[in-house]
Amino acid sequence: MAGCLVTGATGYIGGRLVPELLAAGHDVRCMVRSAARLRDLPWAGHTEVVEADATDPERTFQALQGVEIAYYLIHAMGTADRFADRDRLAARTFAAAAERAGVRRIVYLGGLTAGERLSPHMRSRAEVGEIFLRAGVPSVVLRAAVIIGSGSASFEMLRYLTERLPIMTTPRWVRSPTQPIAVHDVLRYLVAWAAVPGTVNGGFDIGGPDVLTYADMMHGYASVAGLPARVIIPVPVLTPKLSSLWVGLVTPVPAGIARPLVESMRNEAVCHEHDIARYVPDPEEGLIGFRQAVSLALMRIKEADVATRWSSASTPGAPSDPLPTDPGWAGGSLYIDRRSGPVAASPEALWRVIESIGGENGWYSLPVAWRLRGLLDRLVGGVGLRRGRRDPGRLRVGDSVDFWRVEELLPGRLLRLRAEMRLPGLAWLELGVTVSHGRTFYNQRAIFHPRGLLGHLYWWAISPFHGLIFGRIPINVAAAAARSERSGSGRGR
């Protein structure tokens, strides 16, 4: 198998490409400016990590020695002025170092655009591609439009705009046709070029099977996410600058990233050829369509795997899943109420209280508030508090606990409950036990993933009451655990 070097391994595509190359049996070297950023990733120990800046000729040459396939995934989006000069210098330096090191092929992922009035960032990407195609090393330039996968800046902007705005006035670029591609297919193309024989030197358009406008994609996202149909009203007065400011107000995508994305969308981004299939044939089942790609990107949330998605976990999943290296604004909105504190009892006593929560044992908070919430849930067709518990002191995965369901149970450590009440979103309640320096600690997280604008309004509306409800649970649970320590029962309100 080929020895591969991946630049930009801390970025969106690079962080997903490395484990795919490893799974395909390739030896992988990661070239990064700071090796510390890869330190905690589970695949880092299976790669060689070298520190180098692509504008440094000697360090880049050293990083490329012994490499057959070099993946160039560097772009200066979101940086200050003169990014095009840095892009040009880095590409030329990398190409020269690759030729000097005897690299067999450079693979570059650029942007897919058409027309003469390209945005500065798209013009720079096109120029980088031309630099590699004219270099002394055979190069493959892949040109992609919107990449669909959690963590992709383009997808995140689509996600936030669609989820947060049921009615929106939009600039004319929402009518520009584009050909989105699933991140799964992008990675399949990238990995395949490590094994394609010969000295191919050329550019290839890559896209999924659907040609859509941005408005079409917002409607499609809303449908897949289970949101009501969006009302989109295009207006001619929003310039790219005003549009990026508007995006910045509505979404957490930084303005330095939103503006080049918005500017690029004024151009058509549709594949004009599919020559890549001569070297990398389409899979038997075909390329992934837009709606399936969105569904894959949202699957982790639908499966409610909050431990992987929203904690410090670092195990990579499917290519469309979020990764720890993704920016903090990626992955969709999430509200978390955290509570923790020491408990004057043993971990076993605290766990007995946690495992017995709900049903006849109560929720260690304001009983009237929980009864009222259960009544409101029943009024709108929910299950309310009437289900209670199967067993007053023991739980297992799948058990119902009032209007919750046990989603995860790690005896003595963690209880995660998924809400089954009627909500404009998904909700979980985590209760856990940790021990530090011989002391017992209670840990609690209330987690809410809103669905649409109503979900955000719901969270903001109930936030003032969190102190009364969630804030009292740790205090009363700690007191019950102390009593349990003395009595050994572990039950109480």
The model's pLDDT over 408-467, given as tens digits with 9 standing for 90+, comes to: 999 999 999 998 888 888 889 999 999 999 999 999 999 888 877 788 888 888 888 888
**More confident site: 60 or 157:** 60
Angle at CA 476, nearest 5°, toward 474 and 477? 65
The rounded distance, in Å, linking the Cα atoms of 144 and 270 is 9
pLDDT higher than threshold 60 for residue 24: yes
Which helix (H) or strand (E) covers residue 296, if one does?
helix 290-302
Over the stretch 194-231, which tens digit does the pLDDT of each residue have? Answer: 999 989 999 999 999 999 998 899 999 999 988 888 88
**More confident site: 254 or 65:** 65
* 250 and 135 both lie in a single domain: yes
The rounded distance, in Å, linking the Cα atoms of 320 and 317 is 8
* Number of domains making up the chain: 2
Which positions ≥6 away from 359 have C-beta within 8 Å?
388, 389, 392, 401, 402
pLDDT higher than threshold 80 for residue 294: yes
* 241 and 379 both lie in a single domain: no
**Token pair for residue 395?**
């739980």
- Asked if residue 169 belongs to a domain, the reply is yes
* 252 and 348 both lie in a single domain: no
The rounded distance, in Å, linking the Cα atoms of 160 and 218 is 10
pLDDT higher than threshold 60 for residue 264: yes
pLDDT higher than threshold 70 for residue 279: yes
* 347 and 281 both lie in a single domain: no
Where do we find the tokens 């029943």?
A: 378
**More confident site: 457 or 313:** 457
Q: Note the pLDDT of residue 169.
A: 74
Over the stretch 105-119, which tens digit does the pLDDT of each residue have? Answer: 999 999 987 666 777
* CA-to-CA dists, residue 62 to 32, 90, 100, 453, angstroms: 13, 15, 10, 51
CA atoms within 13 A of residue 59's CA, in its CB half-sphere:
13
* 306 and 343 both lie in a single domain: no
pLDDT higher than threshold 50 for residue 305: no
pLDDT higher than threshold 70 for residue 41: yes
| Among the ranges given (59-63, 70-74, 469-473), the one the predictor scored with the smallest mean pLDDT | 469-473
| Among the ranges given (37-51, 85-99, 298-312), the one the predictor scored with the smallest mean pLDDT | 298-312
* 178 and 93 both lie in a single domain: yes
**Token pair for residue 434?**
């940790």
Other CB atoms within a 10 A radius of the CB of residue 197 amount to 6
* 364 and 455 both lie in a single domain: yes
**More confident site: 3 or 119:** 3
| Among the ranges given (78-92, 117-131, 301-315, 434-448), the one the predictor scored with the smallest mean pLDDT | 301-315
Over the stretch 161-177, which tens digit does the pLDDT of each residue have? Answer: 888 888 877 777 788 89
Q: Note the pLDDT of residue 115.
A: 63
- Asked if residue 369 belongs to a domain, the reply is yes
CA atoms within 13 A of residue 217's CA, in its CB half-sphere:
33
- Asked if residue 316 belongs to a domain, the reply is no
* 306 and 339 both lie in a single domain: no
- Domain endpoint, select from 240, 275, 310: 310
The number of helix segments (H) and strand segments (E) in the chain equals 16, 19
Other CB atoms within a 10 A radius of the CB of residue 34 amount to 10
Q: Note the pLDDT of residue 239.
A: 61
> Under a CB-based contact definition with an 8 Å cutoff, are residues 297 and 149 in contact?
yes
* 82 and 220 both lie in a single domain: yes
User: Quick one: what percent of the chain has pLDDT higher than 70?
Assistant: 86
* 128 and 236 both lie in a single domain: yes
- Asked if residue 492 belongs to a domain, the reply is no
Whichever domain contains 8, its CATH number is 3.40.50.720
Mean pLDDT, rounded, of the chain: 84
> Under a CB-based contact definition with an 8 Å cutoff, are residues 466 and 427 in contact?
no
3-state secondary structure 91-130: HHHHHHHHHHHCCCEEEEEEECCCCCCCCHHHHHHHHHHH
Whichever domain contains 387, its CATH number is 3.30.530.20
Q: How confident is the model at residue 309 (pLDDT cuts 50, 70, 90)?
A: very low
Over the stretch 331-386, which tens digit does the pLDDT of each residue have? Answer: 667 788 999 999 999 999 999 999 999 988 889 988 888 888 888 877 877 777 77
* 284 and 406 both lie in a single domain: no
Q: Note the pLDDT of residue 232.
A: 83
Domain residues for the domain of 297 are: 3-310
| Among the ranges given (188-192, 246-250, 287-291, 453-457), the one the predictor scored with the smallest mean pLDDT | 246-250
* 343 and 446 both lie in a single domain: yes
